Amino acid sequence: MADETPDPLAKKLQSDYHQGGSGGPIVVDDWAGGIPQTRAHMPSIRVGRRWFSSLWLIPIGVVGLVLTIAVVRDASRYRWFQDFIATYPGTSTDYVTAVDGGFPAWLRWQHFFNLFFMLFIMRAGLQILADHPRLYLNAGSTPDTEWLRMRGPVPADRRDSDDAARVWTAKEDSVALPAQVGLPGFRHSIGLARWWHFSFDLLWLVNGLIFYILLFSSDQWRRLVPTSWDVFPNAASTALQYLSLDLPPNEGFSTYNALQLLAYFITVFVAAPLALVTGLLQAPSVAAKLGTGVGPLNRQVARSIHFLIFLWMVFFIFVHTSMVFVTGFVGNINHITLGTDTDSATGVVLYGLWMAVVVVFWVLASPVTIRHPRLIQRAGRVMVGHIKAFMEWWSPKATYTTEDISPYFWTNGEKPTNPRYAELLAAGWKDYRLRVDGLVANPLELSYAELLDMPKSQQITAHYCIQGWSGVAEWGGVQMSHIMDLAQPHDRAKWVVFYSFADGPEGGRYYDCHPIENMRHELTILAYEMNGEPLNESHGAPLRLRDEVELGFKQVKWIESIEFVESFAHLGAGQGGYNEDQEFYGYRMPI
pLDDT digits (tens, 9 = 90+) for 305-353: 999 999 999 999 999 999 999 999 999 999 999 999 899 999 999 999 9
**What number is the average pLDDT over the span 137-161?**
88
Asked if the structure places residue 7 within a domain, the reply is no
Domain span at 428: 395-582
Asked if the structure places residue 194 within a domain, the reply is no
- Per residue, the 3-state secondary structure of 53-111, as one string, reads EHHHHHHHHHHHHHHHHHHHHHHCCCHHHHHHHHHCCCCCCCCCCCCCCCCCHHHHHHH
Q: Alpha-carbon distance 279 to 508, whole Å?
A: 34
- Count CB neighbours of 160 within 10 A: 11
> What 8-state DSSP symbol labels residue 466?
T
The 3-state DSSP class for residue 48 equals coil
Laid out side by side, the sheet with 134-135 consists of 50-53, 44-47, 148-149, 134-135
How confident is the model at residue 166, as a pLDDT?
79
pLDDT, tens only, 370-394: 999 999 999 999 998 888 777 766 6
- C-alpha dist (Å) from residue 466 to 188, 284, 322: 11, 10, 36
How confident is the model at residue 9, as a pLDDT?
62
Asked if the structure places residue 200 within a domain, the reply is no
Q: In total, how many domains does the chain have?
A: 1
pLDDT, tens only, 184-227: 988 889 999 999 999 999 999 999 999 999 999 998 898 899 98
Between β-strands 433-438 and 559-565, what pairing exists: parallel, antiparallel or unpaired?
parallel
Asked if the structure places residue 489 within a domain, the reply is yes
* Helix, strand, coil tally for the chain in percent (to 5): 45, 15, 40
Asked if the structure places residue 363 within a domain, the reply is no
Instruction: Indicate the range of 17-31, 319-333, 402-416, 576-590 predicted with least confidence.
Output: 17-31
How confident is the model at residue 180, as a pLDDT?
84
Q: Alpha-carbon distance 461 to 558, whole Å?
A: 20
Contact 430, 452 (CB under 8 A): no
pLDDT, tens only, 472-493: 999 999 999 999 999 999 999 9
How confident is the model at residue 505, as a pLDDT?
84
Query: What's the predicted TM-score (pTM) here?
Result: 0.90
Instruction: Indicate the range of 46-60, 198-212, 398-412, 492-506 predicted with least confidence.
Output: 46-60
Contact 154, 173 (CB under 8 A): yes
Can you give the CATH number for the domain in which 507 is found? 3.90.420.10
Specify the higher pLDDT residue, 159 or 520.
Answer: 520
**What number is the average pLDDT over the span 482-511?**
94
Asked if the structure places residue 253 within a domain, the reply is no
How confident is the model at residue 190, as a pLDDT?
93
Among candidate residues 591, 23, 490, the one with its CA nearest the CA of residue 288:
591
- C-alpha dist (Å) from residue 198 to 193, 205, 365, 436: 9, 10, 15, 36
- C-alpha dist (Å) from residue 567 to 74, 383, 492, 570, 576: 75, 22, 9, 7, 9
pLDDT, tens only, 223-280: 899 988 989 999 999 999 999 998 888 888 888 899 999 999 999 999 999 999 999 9
Whether pLDDT at 25 is above 60: no
Q: How confident is the model at residue 33 (pLDDT cuts 50, 70, 90)?
A: very low
In percent, the amount of the chain with pLDDT more than 90 equals: 66
How confident is the model at residue 58, as a pLDDT?
85
Asked if the structure places residue 34 within a domain, the reply is no
